[in-house]
Amino acid sequence: MTKLWQGKSNKKIEKFTVGDDYLLDKKLLKYDCKASIAHAKMLKKIGILTDEELVKLEKELNNIIELGKKGKFDIKMEDEDCHTAIENYLTKKLKELGKKIHTAKSRNDQVVAAMKLYEKDEIAKVKKLVNSLISSLNKLSKKNIAMPGYTHMQKAMPSSVKLWASGFVESLEDDLKLLDNALDIIDKNPLGTGAGYGVPLKVDKEITKNELEFKENYKTSLYVQNSRGKHEAIILNALVNVIGTLNKLASDIILFSMSEFGYFSLPKEFTTGSSIMPHKKNPDVLELVRAKYSIVLGYGIQVKGLISNLPSGYNRDLQLTKKPLMDGIEITKDCLEVMELVVSGLKVNKENCKKAMTKELYATDKVYELVKKGKSFREAYKEVKKKL
């Protein structure tokens, strides 16, 4: 298996340094090919490739994308990553022409390009799922049924299903802004920057930027590598806020569906049973959503730890930022899908909500009735408190 760098390596060292990168790169295969197609078009523009050569390269790169979709394109551990596997495939198919694809690029800028394209697609998917959950919460909020509001886990003032659900809608709307902010920051074209210090050819970054629909080019080549990990941490921070909203939503539903409250009830198919207690209907799905906030939070901390104390330029430590980002994205998407199902299937028990609206909830209302009649708030507060 031909490597993109020249030399031999100890098999144990090779396995250690590659890790599971070659497996993770299956998610990046189509993005790497798309970036290579854009790069090839740029090479043709600057005279490195002919029209005929571009057609052949583009055809084979699209073939790789199709093979990848069918699970028929292998990335072996000896390849190290998808970039090597792609170039080896092109060289096998197109001989010397296949070797030209690496002209004016490094694996350093190529991996960032593939990651950026992957991240942009995944952020779009997360946003779509957030909007689906918002839609379900808005439908639930139409059930304007009174229920207690709580502070310090004690009954406080009157609330409603509408107020409760709308609060989560607003939280998710904030989370969408954070996702948009993350997208705005990462939406930069890294191609043409090589290993971080440019390439000794007059490349046209505008071509690859436009082909790949990046918002802008990086202003400095070195920052392409210095932004690795940092940009992943920014995305994970946005995801942590999304799943933090889900954490609170899950906690509330668990609480309010307890028999002691009974405001909500989950469909039976959303609950699990006990191996010893036949009556149990456990909200395991919500407990796992609640717990996975901590997992995604941990991924963010992991990435920030990995990029600390690194000098400028590419360092192999950055390879390890890929998995926590990918795992964080998958967990967030799964949790959003699950919570949309839960909210859509949630039943509101109107009678239980009504019974829970006990008189102490209206104590503050009584204070303000006296205030409207001319009493100071503090005197009115004392008068009402004496009667409780």
Which residues are catalytically annotated? 152, 274
CB count, 10 Å around CB of 224? 27
- Cα 132 versus chain centre, distance: 15
Angle, alpha carbons 273-274-278 (nearest 5°): 85
Token pair in block for residue 198: 């440019």
Comparing CA positions, the residue from 83, 84, 65, 61 lying closest to residue 73 is: 65
Which phi-psi region, left, alpha or beta, contains residue 73 (left: φ > 0; alpha: ψ -120 to 50)? beta
